[in-house]
Amino acid sequence: MSVTGKEAVSVVDDEAAPGDDAPLRVAVLVGSVREGRQGRAVTEWFLGAAGDAGLDLDVIDLAEVDLPLVLPGWGGTPGPAALAALREVSPRLAAADAFVVVTPEYNHSFPASLKNFIDWHHAQWQAKPVGFVSYGGLGGGLRAVEQLRLVFAELHAMTVRDSVSLHGPWSGLGEDGTPRDAAVCAGAVKGMLGQLAWWGRALRAARAERPYAA
């Protein structure tokens, strides 16, 4: 497994057709931008729990992506600030074979920052699988995941069945944002990534053979 970030990213043309043995390129989205968030700590734990899974993981922290809330009208052109942010992240989404979304649950749903980031893109999500790592509250963020499944279905993405759900912060997560029951949660990571890898390779081969037409 290799991990890249903002400073070290190899932008790969999504039209390239890597072989079946090529590492699966997975963009990991840190969905929360809230002050005092645990999202980055949860993401670091996830990267460690993923282990050597034959994945090329690229972390995209939404707190470092300055996309405005105002989207251009149909056929319009984004402003200079938005274009600069899109030049940084859009090629990384296009190059990804799959995605993992790390999200808390806010008010029975997922963060507005995550919805805004998703809405700024369209074709980059299509015909690719999405896995989830959620955290927070008694439900472990599962209600945020259920709503994200609806959003990604509209964008022609395929969400994997199993997700990683971390309950807390008062029960399942420690103060450092890592799960108290690390063994069980690490097992959930491997299960989710197993499904993500299967779908990621299958859909990568399908896109290479016949481009997806939405």
The one-digit pLDDT tens for each residue of the chain (214 residues) are 545 554 333 333 444 456 677 999 999 999 999 999 989 999 999 999 998 888 999 999 999 999 999 999 988 999 999 999 999 999 999 999 999 999 999 999 999 999 999 999 999 999 999 999 999 878 889 999 999 999 999 999 999 999 999 886 555 667 776 777 778 889 999 999 999 999 999 999 999 999 998 6
Report the number of distinct structural domains present in the chain: 1
Answer yes or no: is 184 within a domain.
yes
Rounded distance between C-alpha atoms, residue 126 and residue 212, angstroms: 8
In this structure, the number of other CB atoms found within 10 A of the CB of residue 74 comes to 5
Q: Is residue 182 one of the residues assigned to a domain?
A: yes
Is the residue at 18 inside a domain? Answer: no
**pLDDT value for 170:** 53
pLDDT for 209? 96
- Fill in the amino acid letter for 158: M
Within a domain: 135: yes
pLDDT at residue 142, rounded to an integer: 95
- For residue 46, being part of any structural domain is answered with no
Q: Does residue 39 form part of some domain?
A: no
Residues 6+ apart with CB under 8 A from 139: 105, 165, 167
Provide the CATH number for the domain around residue 209: 3.40.50.360
Give me the domain span that covers residue 101: 25-30+56-61+89-214
Is the pTM of the predicted complex or chain greater than 0.85?
Answer: yes
